[in-house]
Amino acid sequence: MINHYKNNTKNLRFSSLIYSIASSSLTVLVIIVLCMSLIVNTYAKDEKTVKLQDAPSATIAERIQPEIGARGSFVMPFGKPEPFLGYGWGAALYFDLVPYAYQVFSLRVGVTSEFMYFKHSTSSTAATLMIFPEYAHIKFSVQLDNGFLIYPKIGCGISIALLDKKEYSFFNVSKNSYDLTAIAGLGIGYNPPAIRSLVVFAEADYKMLFEKVEGHFVTASIGIAYKYTK
């Protein structure tokens, strides 16, 4: 009877996780479609809205320079999760584009879908925490002629947190939460002049989760991206 109850509970949590991931992915997809639609309509109405160095005959894709990338991360938690969690790891996918650029400066806006995982055990406590941050971001990028670039970034969105904690082998805590999330970070990278579509980068950011988790997370990442150019 107890095992049947545990199995049902696990199945319900797994179904909830799948539903949460699917909902978040759908939300990100809708945001991307809306952003692309807005940018296309803006350029169709007035080509002078965006100031870029490209020639006047450049296509919309060449002007907005869409970029898609992935990164792997090392994560260190602070705040409420810190006492029972050790270091964690994560990964992220992102998409962004340029609505405005002037000389070496460009403003990149987009969305990020991220995953962070923590698992830690002691003699009295075993805990697993999975967090799925989904957020919109803005990068203020400066890129030099030699390809080196630097950018501060900010972002805001929602994180899905799934906590499973056991104390002294008999006290179990399983919680799901949706937490408002704020992000600030700094990145450096290199976009080789010989391969304009390739971007490699290193990034550090600070995430704050509010409401139930109330956690702070410092993340160090390295990644690679594809940027559409001429």
Which domains are seen in the chain, by residue range?
A: 2-227 (2.40.160.20)
Q: Residue 121 CB: number of other CB atoms within 10 A?
A: 12
Q: Read off the pLDDT of residues 59-75 as tens digits, 9 standing for 90 and up.
A: 888 889 999 999 999 99
pLDDT of residue 164: 82
What is the dihedral sign for C-alpha 22, 26, 32, 35? negative
Per-range mean pLDDT, top range of 11-15, 44-48, 190-194: 190-194
pLDDT of residue 81: 57
Percentage of the chain surpassing pLDDT 70?
67
Separation CA 27–CA 150 (nearest Å): 29
The pLDDT assigned to 39 comes to 47
In 3D space, the residue among 64, 144, 70 whose CA is nearest the CA of residue 114 turns out to be: 70
- What dihedral do alpha carbons 17, 21, 27, 28 form, nearest 10°? 150
Strands 88-102 and 67-79: antiparallel
pLDDT tens-digit readout, 98-108:
999 999 999 99
| Residue 38 Ramachandran class (φ > 0 left, ψ -120 to 50 alpha, else beta) | alpha
Q: What is the pTM of this model?
A: 0.71
* Residue written as token pair 């390295």: 222
CA nearest 209: which of 128, 112, 119, 133?
A: 133
Given this model, what pLDDT does residue 33 score? Answer: 46
Greater model confidence, 85 or 10:
85
Residues 173 and 164 sit within 8 Å (Cβ to Cβ) = yes
In the structure encoding, which two tokens stand for residue 38, read together?
A: 């807005």
How many Å apart are CA 112 and CA 158, to the nearest integer? Answer: 11
C-alpha closest to that of 223 among 67, 111, 92: 92
Q: What is the pLDDT of residues 155-185, one digit of tens each?
A: 999 999 888 877 766 667 777 888 899 999 9
% of the chain with per-residue pLDDT over 90: 50
Give, in order, the Cα–Cα distances in Å from 99 to each of 102, 107, 126, 161.
11, 7, 47, 32
Mean of pLDDT values over 140-145: 96
The tokens for 123 are 């003699």
What is the model's pLDDT at position 165? 76
